[in-house]
Chains A and B, each alone.
Chain A
Amino acid sequence: MQKSDSKFDLPQGTLDLLIMRVVALGPIHGYAIAQRIQQMSREALQVQQGSLYPALHRLEYKKFLVARWQPTETGREAKFYELTAKGRVYLKDETQNWKRLTDVVGLILKGTVEGI
């Protein structure tokens, strides 16, 4: 397993949110999701396959995502995930919650690193 210095543990449930955010951009398969998260986080986040796929299957089971088998540009069949209407609402709500939470936490923690 590749260890990265800047790797840190994601809070519970955050991975679901990141996956859904990526999927919201359009139908995408698991490998691309991992790549995209890595890119978007400027290589700070590396999603392990062991977390990614159970999360995808869980979201599919909860009907936030639907999946379809489609050929990729290389011609191989891959499982493409898409956001459902239910998933879209959920993503929106959770993103707002997340923003509120980080604002509040940020407010409290402001300046602490220097102060400690």
Chain B
Amino acid sequence: MNWLQRLFSRKRLERELEKELRFHFEAQVSDKVRSGVSDEEARRLTRLEFGGFDQIKEDCRESRGTMWVESIVQDIRYGIRQLRKSPGFSITAVVTLALGIGATTAIFTLVHGVLERSLPVADPSSLYRIGDKSTCCYYSSLESDDGDFDLFPYDLYLDLKRSSPEFEELAAVEAGGGSQPVRWGSSPSMPLRSEYVSGNYFAMLGVGTYAGRPLTQNDDRNGASPVVVLSYAAWQSYFAGDASVVGSTVYVQTHPFTVVGIAPPSFYGDRIVERPPDFWIPVSNEPIINGQGSDLWPKGEEDSAWFYLLGRVRPQTNITALQAKLSAMLRQWMSTQVQFTAHGGAALIPRQHVVLTPGGGGIQKLQAQTGKGLRLLMILSSIVLLIACANFANLLLARGTSRRSELAVRMALGAARIRIMRQILTQSVILSVMGGAAGVAIAYALSRMILLLAFPHARNMPVNASPSLVVLGFAFVVSLLTGVIFGTIPAWYSSQAEAAEAFRTAARSTGDRTSMPQKALVVIQVGLSIVLISGAFLMGRSLANLENQNFGIATANRYVLRIDPKGAGYSIQRLSALYQRIEERFSALPSAKNVSFARYTPLDGNAWGTCIVQQGHAAPGPQDKCFSSWVRVSRHFLQTVGVPIVRGRDFSAMDTQDSTPVVLVNQAFARQFFPNQDPVGKHFGLMSPRNSGAFEIAGVFADFKMNDPHGNVEPLFLRPLTQQYLGYTEPEAISGEQNSMFLNSIILQFSTSQSDVEDLVRRALAEVDPNLTIFYFSSYDAQVAGNFNQDRLIARLTSLFGVLALALASVGLYGVISFFVTRRTTEIGIRMAMGSSRSAIVSLVMRGALGPILIGIALGIPAALFLGHLSASLLYGITGTSPLACIVATAALAASALIAGFVPARRAASLDPMDALREQ
């Protein structure tokens, strides 16, 4: 038997020990009786000889070698018994810790699942990415002011791949990724997410397939038959897990592709996104889908960069040297590209470079977006945990003090101090582990909620709310440490009981040393609460500022939907008829007011940008500000989104293909490009001075937020649906112009609020053309609100943490003051008997709590200002060091402290002096 078995057969061993000693005893008695002693005398003598029965047993147990485990088991049983006797205390302690541990673990689940995640591929540590940003999604100019590149065109990728043997494999992956209508068999077209990848993508990652084969280099060459690999999740949800899909043909935007394989279930691609790719297409197939609009190879002078590069580096590669080499190659390539050398751009080439970053976690796009917020939440939730711990320690201290006389008796009877300390510690560990277990449940619910709120459009997102082993380990360690660290001080204080003193002063204290640590804990709680409440205030104000700002557009009773006429097979020639039919059909919907088309809608997160050239100006240099967003819209667009014309005119029925090409510009555009001039009647063009007379400004419209609701309004111009500019000679400009004719967004305005409008709209569209799929449908209010998902989430969590902190601190304060009252009942009785007034008693009690609260506030305010300073970049319309936040936090805390203190103070004041004195 090893000690573990012995431990579990403890009952049997105990029984046998008793039996064995009993046998000895009886044998000795019968021997004595046989030698002539009376039975009674024999028993008495034998008992004397034996000495302490229990002492012998204890020595035997000890020699079994399981004593230490057994006594811990005993302590645990004793602890549980003790805790059951005071359920109020135990539940409060467990709930307090569960809240703290739950909050921290929930955030840690996300930090672990998002920020510290490795791709599910072979040996992620040898993956490196060329680039350290997440620039999106197409670029054909300098990518950043400091010369950092992370998007690459296809031909440069091939160059780098050919001349970098340091990479075992270097793969190119699409930076953006889009939705494609896909049909299989007789199924209706399904909007699936796609990602273009180089042929060596799966080989580079070391990922195989669940069924079929992965993409190979052979699939990625000119003239190879078009193939795709499906993700496992897409195969399950769109193809019903049908094995016959492998080897069959699917139609992507009407083009036939063979499905050659299904990726493994755990594989979600090269980055964490809300909606991971449903299928991967070899890069060389891109021209099949995009036809004339293909961006794979350079068109004229323009070479589009739209790939991230991810590769597996050979062992013992010098990363610094490789980075320098790749940067040199980038500069070498740029110096041969007119798009970078023209108009003084050559001077900027020397500082262009790339940064190699570890790629084991994949493309860190989501991580870059959420990292700051998550880290802030990690700090805030840890503060909640600290407050909870302080409360926990406080509860234990109070309990320890109220058990002082009991402990003193036990020690007087010979209990070892160390054993008593251990028992108290065991109890706190039991409580903290229970709190941890409850905390894990809270954490699961909380992280689920966070994920739902943060990523409402997620589909197969590879971030899970269920705690992983690491997270469970984290929660366990945190709760164990809490129990040990915050249980030690109370254990030590309680075991200091001197029997005589403990008996004498049971309820007659006028102040004692145990209240010192309690006061220190109140200081900590108050200070940390100030930090959390002011943080909650800042985030809440910032969110309110964001949501209630004037976006410049009207959204009430408006709905946005997106379709893909190009994917459904429409040519430019057939478009205007289609738009007319849709407009007529939708206008016939009950209480429909306006129907408009737009390439992109305000605040949907998209717009095209371009460099504009004013008529009569030289070509702008690479550092001149020439950038403006632009959108092609239908005639009533501005009317539909409620944007007024401030100068000139709106689009009209007279703007046709044959009339003067006109544009409308916003006020920011007018300010930037035509300061102190009347922009109406002026001309400008795009990209090159050759085209600078292309468009005439017909009017100026009021500013509204098109892209980023956090930023200022940027220059924007609108072009009418009816006018395709035919004056371009550059192939890239021609294909860009052609693409811009496809308006994928429709805005519907109703005169009254609607219900079930989505069904209505779907049916109406199906009447126009059953092949048109609605990719997206949303009320305009929801679309705008969607811009603030993260801000809202952070604000809500911060206020949740703030409220928790305040509640915990109040409970802590209440506990300390009540305790103070109980301990000084006799003193209060004497004071009252001597004629002290009730209000004097209240103020005596409150005064005791005032000191630590003031110190806590004094320490909390600078800490709050510091945290506000750190989180400044997450705030909108309020500075991180706003004094208002500190004032609000102090006021909230003072109010709750007042309530927490007043209840026990009143109880003290309403004591009957006689009762109070008689109590001891």
Contact = CB atoms under 8 A, between A and B. Distances in A.
Q: Do A and B come from one complex?
A: yes
Contact of B20 (A1, A2, A30, A48): A30
A79 B16 contact: yes
B122 interface: no
A77 interface: yes
A53 B55 CA distance: 11
A66 to B, nearest CB: 11
A58 B49 CA distance: 22
A76 interface: yes
A30 B20 CA distance: 8
A63 to B, nearest CB: 10
Interface in A21-54: 29-31, 34, 48-50, 53-54
Contacts of B49: 1-2, 49
A78 interface: yes
Contacts of B20: 29-30, 53, 78-79
Interface in A67-96: 69, 74, 76-79
B456 interface: no
A30 B22 CA distance: 11
A1 B30 CA distance: 18
Contacts of B60: 53-54, 57
A51 B755 CA distance: 89
- Give the one of B16, B20, B51 with max A CB within 10 A: B20
Interface of B: 16-17, 19-21, 23-24, 26-28, 30, 48-52, 55-56, 59-60, 62-65
Given A1-B48, A57-B63, A49 B56 contact: yes
Nearest to A48: B51
A8 interface: no
Contact of B21 (A34, A53, A55, A77): A53
A57 B16 CA distance: 12
Q: Which 4 A-B pairs have the closest CB atoms?
A: A58-B63, A54-B59, A31-B27, A31-B24
Contacts of A61: 63-65
B55 A49 contact: no
A1 B56 CA distance: 14
A89 to B, nearest CB: 21
Given A2-B49, A57-B60, A76 B26 contact: yes
B56 A53 contact: yes
B21 to A, nearest CB: 7
A99 B59 CA distance: 30
B14 to A, nearest CB: 12
Contacts of B48: 1
A48 B28 CA distance: 12
Interface in A1-23: 1-2
Interface of A: 1-2, 29-31, 34, 48-50, 53-55, 57-58, 61, 69, 74, 76-79
25 contacts: A1-B48, A2-B49, A29-B20, A29-B23, A30-B24, A31-B24, A31-B28, A48-B51, A49-B21, A49-B56, A50-B52, A50-B55, A50-B56, A53-B17, A53-B24, A54-B56, A54-B60, A55-B63, A57-B60, A57-B64, A61-B64, A74-B30, A78-B23, A79-B16, A79-B19
Contact of B19 (A1, A74, A77): A77
A1 B23 contact: no
A1 B55 CA distance: 15
Given A30-B20, A31-B28, A79-B20, A53 B59 contact: yes
A77 B62 contact: no
A111 B676 CA distance: 128
B619 to A, nearest CB: 93
B63 A54 contact: yes
Contacts of A2: 49
Given A31-B23, A78-B23, A1 B51 contact: yes
Contacts of B17: 53
Contacts of A34: 24
Contacts of A74: 30
A1 B50 CA distance: 7
B26 A50 contact: no
Contacts of B51: 1, 48-50
B28 to A, nearest CB: 7
A58 to B, nearest CB: 4
Nearest to B23: A78
Contacts of A53: 17, 20-21, 24, 56, 59-60
A49 B63 contact: no
Contacts of B55: 50
Nearest to A46: B49
Contacts of B23: 29-31, 76-79
B779 to A, nearest CB: 76
Contacts of B24: 29-31, 34, 49, 53
Contacts of B19: 77, 79
Contacts of B28: 31
Contacts of B52: 50
A58 B19 CA distance: 18
A86 B742 CA distance: 91
Contacts of B16: 69, 79
A55 B51 CA distance: 17
Contacts of A54: 56, 59-60, 62-63
Contacts of A29: 20, 23-24
Contacts of A30: 20, 23-24
Contacts of B21: 49, 53
Nearest to B27: A31
Nearest to B58: A54
Contacts of B62: 54
A24 to B, nearest CB: 20
Contacts of A49: 21, 24, 49-51, 56
A49 B77 CA distance: 30
Contacts of A57: 60, 63-64
B12 to A, nearest CB: 11
- Give the one of A1, A31, A34 with max B CB within 10 A: A31
A77 B23 CA distance: 8
Contacts of A31: 23-24, 27-28
A55 B62 CA distance: 11
A75 to B, nearest CB: 12
A34 B60 CA distance: 16
A62 to B, nearest CB: 9
Nearest to B61: A57
A30 B50 CA distance: 13
B52 to A, nearest CB: 8
A50 B65 CA distance: 17
A34 B31 CA distance: 13
- Give the one of A34, A55, A61, A77 with max B CB within 10 A: A61
A36 to B, nearest CB: 13
B43 to A, nearest CB: 15
Nearest to B6: A61
- Give the one of B17, B19, B27 with max A CB within 10 A: B27
Contacts of A76: 23, 26
A78 B26 CA distance: 11
Given A29-B23, A53-B59, A78-B23, 12 more contacts: A2-B49, A31-B28, A34-B24, A48-B51, A49-B49, A49-B50, A50-B52, A50-B59, A53-B20, A57-B64, A76-B26, A79-B23
Nearest to B24: A31
A48 B27 CA distance: 15
Contacts of A50: 50-52, 55-56, 59
B760 to A, nearest CB: 83
A15 B20 CA distance: 19
B420 to A, nearest CB: 26
A49 B54 CA distance: 12
Contacts of B56: 49-50, 53-54
Nearest to B26: A76
